[in-house]
Chain A
Amino acid sequence: MKKTIITVVGKDTVGIIAKVCTYLAENKVNILDISQTIVQDYFNMMMIVDANNSTKPFGELSDELTSIGTEIGVQIKVQQEDIFNSMHRI
């Protein structure tokens, strides 16, 4: 199964996770794992999701999540998992 990584970085505020999760649920993206930390007052979240059954193509999901990020003042990136596996796993 192809997995997608969503990262959210920015100033902590109320409802970041809620907003992202609601969008994912609406678009049939299943969340497999969430980890979250606060680094130097910055909210830092990574989600591993399964977007294979999503109603929208990858590019559209990525663009819409990025604009949700802009709305709430955080940076959201959507990337295929392969790039991280390539770099960190032999």
Chain B
Amino acid sequence: MINIFEVNETNKMIEHENLDVRTITLGISLLDCIDSDLDKVNENIYNKITNVAKDLVSTGAQIEKEYGIPIVNKRISVTPIALVGGAACKTPDDFVTIAKTLDKVAHEVGVNFIGGYSALVSKGMTTADENLIRSIPKALATTERVCSSINVGSTKTGINMDAVKLMGEIIVETAEYTKERDSIGCAKLVVFCNAPDDNPFMAGAFHGVTEADAIINVGVSGPGVVRTALKKARGENFEVLCETIKKTAFKITRVGQLVAQEASKRLGIPFGIIDLSLAPTPAVGDSVADILQEIGLERVGAPGTTAALALLNDQVKKGGVMASSYVGGLSGAFIPVSEDQGMIDAVTAGALTLEKLEAMTCVCSVGLDMIAIPGDTKATTISGIIADEVAIGMINQKTTAVRLIPVIGKGVGETVEFGGLLGYAPVMPVNTFACDAFVNRGGRIPAPIHSFKN
């Protein structure tokens, strides 16, 4: 039988170390909503989501109460809208109507984000894909809860450089459209390489076409728990360090597994995957940067940061894999800047630069995430940064992503407030040497060779 010390350990994690289930994300296929009539598509989407997701929030709240574990977000991901709206939408503005429908549904069923305003263009763009991409600035400016993601490359297909170029322009335009609110539109837009079909985390969540009609994916978290556990391993060697991370990751993930199974059972929707992620929040102590410092760095960005992050990421996966029957999504350590107090402090102290962050993304689970850059950054420069990040993902067979916020009207040294889970960020300097001739070439970068791994 369970004893008082075990009960206290769990409750201490929840009450003092910010242990929570970060999100229950309900993936819903909208393929059966396709119609050539735009009004009909919107109506179908509205009906399907409200029907499938009607009990999501109340069920989440019920589980939260019974187990005493906070479930921070309840969210929805849908089939990439470029596929769903392709037959009906002839212009970017047509796609915006679907974004508005998604936003309306999100408000009605009570989820705080709905992801899947997406297009998968890793090799080429259809007219519908391009229309959707061109509609993003307006769609994100006129909605509150819709999140957009575009997959522009993969290990199997190479990189669609036309899409990379276009996304640089779209990010700038999205920033312009929401300049009154510190360009917050860009916080809801991610550019991916090797985007997973089952990611429960925003802003990059969408319900891939390889998925079932509806599925429950759960994202766990708990950087604070790992950090507290590591305090006890100060001065110990790497074996002890790694064992401690693994054991802690196991415990955290087991809670996610329980919540996922319960949610699946109560909603009558199959369980998809657990995303084993250390996802920070701006709350003090809920920080991946703090873990890296506990491992032995004065500040994130110091030499040794990439190695520390690599071991952290790997041990989290090793510990978590055994705790869950199905693992997927982005699984690993997230290193967003604005959502992590320790990262913000490192940037402010001058320890962490964009270039070091890029190196870190080679070994972490996602990429350049929630980074505020000067509002006058050129579109081609943003495309260049995207291309670099996507290349890392393509060559290393991993997911990488870019979520940059060029803050219109602000420059290096100023601070941007996004509020809530999105946090705040100091504007970081960007290398200003041009890459226009590179970005403007057009076409594709071919898929990489899978041998001669050097």
Contacts and interface: CB of A to CB of B under 8 A. Distances in A.
Given A5-B7, A44-B8, A85 B67 contact: no
A81 interface: yes
A82 interface: yes
Given A37-B4, A46-B7, A81-B2, A58 B68 contact: no
B7 A86 contact: no
Contacts of B68: 77-79, 83
Contacts of A87: 6, 10, 251, 254-255
Contacts, number: 61
Nearest to A58: B66
A88 B6 contact: yes
Interface in A40-75: 44, 46, 48, 58-59, 62
Interface residues of A, number: 25
Q: Which residue, B2, B10, B262, has most C-beta atoms of chain A within 10 A?
A: B2
B66 A79 contact: yes
B90 interface: no
Sorting the interface of chain B by its residue count into under 10, 10 to 19, 20 to 34 or 35 or more gives 20 to 34
B258 A7 contact: no
Given A5-B2, A58-B65, A84 B254 contact: no
Interface string B1-14: 11110111111000
A59 B64 CA distance: 11
B69 to A, nearest CB: 6
B257 interface: yes
B8 A82 contact: no
A83 to B, nearest CB: 4
Contacts of B66: 58, 79-80
Interface of B: 1-4, 6-11, 62, 65-69, 251, 254-255, 257-258, 262
30 contacts: A5-B7, A7-B8, A7-B11, A35-B3, A35-B4, A36-B4, A44-B8, A46-B3, A46-B4, A46-B7, A58-B66, A59-B62, A59-B65, A77-B11, A78-B68, A79-B67, A79-B68, A82-B67, A82-B262, A83-B67, A83-B68, A83-B69, A84-B2, A84-B10, A86-B255, A87-B255, A88-B2, A88-B9, A88-B10, A88-B251
